[in-house]
Amino acid sequence: MPLPPKQAGVKPAPTVGRKRHKHAGHSKAQCLKIFRRLSLYLDGELPDNACEEIRKHLHGCDNCEVFLASFKRTVTLCRKYPAKPLSPTAKGAIRAAVLKAVCR
């Protein structure tokens, strides 16, 4: 499947390397907690206090802020270029790979 054409005026989000991630005043576990709730946050499905906690964290964590920008871009592209249906086997394999990567 060909890659989608580049959108005019849209710059790719900077990459975040694991070695460069510095936790200014918070732990890596806090960042992971934010990552796990970003989809609910963007969809407006979290209570106000949880949204405020995420906003405060993002304000103080450049890496999570970059990740959020990248995540928003990914969601936008996924909506623009819908995927073909996957078999249950393929879905399971992808889900397992993502969970393995997230839980490192």
| pLDDT 10s digits, 12-49 | 445 444 444 566 677 888 899 998 999 899 999 999 99
For the record, the structure tokens of 86 come out as: 């996957």
Identify the pLDDT of residue 50: 95
Query: What's the pTM value of the predicted model, to 2 decimals?
Result: 0.54
pLDDT digits (tens, 9 = 90+) for 46-86: 999 999 999 999 998 988 999 999 999 998 998 899 878 99
DSSP state at residue 46: S
Sign of CA dihedral 16, 75, 37, 90: negative
Cα 81 from chain centre: 18
**Annotated domain spans of the chain:** 21-102
Identify the pLDDT of residue 89: 97
What crossing angle do the helices spanning 28-42 and 48-60 adopt, rounded to 10°? 130
CA–CA dist 45, 26 (Å, integer): 24
